[in-house]
């Protein structure tokens, strides 16, 4: 249906790539929001959501007006000959993202099933390669359907926390505090999450009008951030001890004593890792195929797409040995500020100017 392609699919793709190893395990949310208190973290989430809606809507409209649905075309509109600066930062960011999901996938299968870390990474690599072999339509459809399953599990998780840990949950919300720094951290979270948006513009091809672009951008921000808000609120039942957990959501499932939900969570989260890898790599494939089309060459074959995906995932798997906490704490925060210079400032200056033309 047309409205799904316009209003749901772009947000589902954005959410699927955002909710990777850091977001899905809760570690990323703790790092950027919960450590500033339950109230402070909630303020940061609201700030990030509003900012994301504005950036996504503006980016969708710019992509629509200039038919720039791969990040190379998009940044040639924004930065002209300086467009490779985004590619360098985006390459570093997505290698970091893939490394995080690789580390998280290995950790979960090792702790839940007792399988070696390398097996979890290998399963994820294989699934990502298969999805990228079948191409854009399959990737976007799988990402959209999986988002529904993800929401079902996340909502069930919050309800179970509220009913089984009622006293701790109520006390945590009643004593919600706010520490200084939530606004800076929320803005930093916004920077590195929307930085991946230009790589995912292939999902916005169905948008035809400015009204659709604006509404789709707002919906995408809500789809992407609501699960984070649910997780953050649930952490009130285990605050402040949750701040020291490498995988906060997984540790809270242990407190709940809900084996069925734990199994569902592991399945959905592992599938989300695959989605994140496939969605991000599909963005790089779109860029390569658009570059070849400009030169009168045929797009890369499915086999070459799969080989590219395998190479990127293998390299990210080697990076994942650093560990998930250090990857998120040291990597994401540092690289976020670079996107302020190469993406957000040009978007709100050059981008707005070009749209007004």
What is the C-alpha to C-alpha distance for residues 55 and 236, in angstroms, rounded to an integer? 30
Q: What is the pLDDT of residue 325?
A: 46
pLDDT of 88 over the 70 cut: yes
Burial group, residue 257, by CB count within 10 angstroms (0-12, 13-18, 19+): exposed
What is the C-alpha to C-alpha distance for residues 72 and 66, in angstroms, rounded to an integer? 12
Peptide bond connecting 79 to the previous residue in cis, omega within 30 degrees of 0: no
How does pLDDT run across 172-230, given as a tens digit for each residue? Answer: 888 778 888 899 999 888 887 887 788 788 888 999 999 999 999 999 999 989 888 98
What is the C-alpha to C-alpha distance for residues 236 and 175, in angstroms, rounded to an integer? 9
pLDDT of 331 over the 60 cut: no
Tokens standing for residue 7: 């209003």
Name the range with the highest mean pLDDT among 19-28, 143-152, 166-175, 313-322: 166-175
- CA 320 to the chain's CA centroid: 17
How does pLDDT run across 140-181, given as a tens digit for each residue? Answer: 777 777 778 878 888 888 888 888 888 888 888 887 788 888
Tokens standing for residue 325: 């906490």
What is the C-alpha to C-alpha distance for residues 159 and 231, in angstroms, rounded to an integer? 11
Q: What is the pLDDT of residue 21?
A: 52
pLDDT of 353 over the 60 cut: yes
What separation in angstroms does the CA of 339 have from each of 23, 85, 86?
Answer: 19, 10, 8
Q: Which of 322, 38, 307 is nearest to 175 (CA)?
A: 38
pLDDT of 4 over the 90 cut: no
Q: In order of start, what are the domains of the chain with their CATH numbers?
A: 2-356 (1.20.1740.10)
Q: Output DSSP code: residue 237.
A: G
């Amino acid at each position: 249906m047309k409205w799904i392609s316009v209003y749901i699919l772009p947000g589902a793709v954005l959410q699927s790539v955002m909710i990777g190893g850091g977001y899905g395990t809760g570690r990323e949310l703790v790092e950027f929001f919960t450590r500033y208190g339950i109230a402070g973290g909630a303020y940061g989430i609201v700030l990030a959501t509003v900012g994301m809606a504005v950036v996504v809507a503006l980016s969708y409209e710019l992509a629509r007006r200039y038919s720039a649905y791969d990040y190379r075309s998009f940044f040639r509109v924004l930065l002209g000959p300086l467009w490779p600066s985004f590619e360098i930062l985006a390459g570093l960011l997505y290698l970091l993202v893939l490394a995080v999901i690789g580390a998280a996938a290995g950790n979960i299968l090792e702790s839940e099933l007792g399988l070696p870390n390398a097996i979890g990474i290998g399963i994820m690599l294989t699934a990502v390669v298969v999805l990228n072999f079948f191409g854009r339509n399959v990737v976007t459809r799988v990402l959209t359907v999986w988002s529904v399953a993800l929401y079902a599990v996340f909502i069930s998780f919050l309800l179970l926390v509220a009913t089984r840990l009622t006293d701790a949950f109520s006390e945590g919300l009643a004593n919600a505090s706010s520490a200084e720094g939530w606004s800076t951290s929320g803005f930093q979270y916004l920077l590195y999450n929307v930085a991946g948006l230009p790589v995912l513009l292939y999902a916005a091809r169905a948008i035809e009008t400015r009204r659709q672009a604006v509404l789709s951008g707002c919906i995408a921000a809500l789809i992407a951030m609501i699960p984070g808000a649910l997780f953050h609120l649930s952490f009130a039942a285990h605050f402040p001890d949750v701040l020291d957990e490498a995988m906060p959501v997984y540790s809270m499932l242990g407190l709940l004593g809900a084996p069925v939900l734990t199994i569902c969570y592991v399945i959905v989260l592992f599938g989300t890792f695959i989605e994140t890898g496939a969605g991000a790599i599909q963005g790089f494939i779109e860029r390569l195929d658009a570059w070849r089309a400009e030169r009168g060459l045929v797009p890369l074959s499915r086999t070459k797409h799969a080989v590219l995906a395998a190479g990127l995932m293998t390299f990210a798997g080697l990076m994942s040995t650093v560990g998930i906490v250090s990857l998120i704490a040291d990597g994401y925060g540092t690289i976020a500020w670079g996107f302020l210079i190469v993406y957000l400032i040009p978007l709100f200056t050059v981008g707005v100017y070009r749209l007004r033309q």
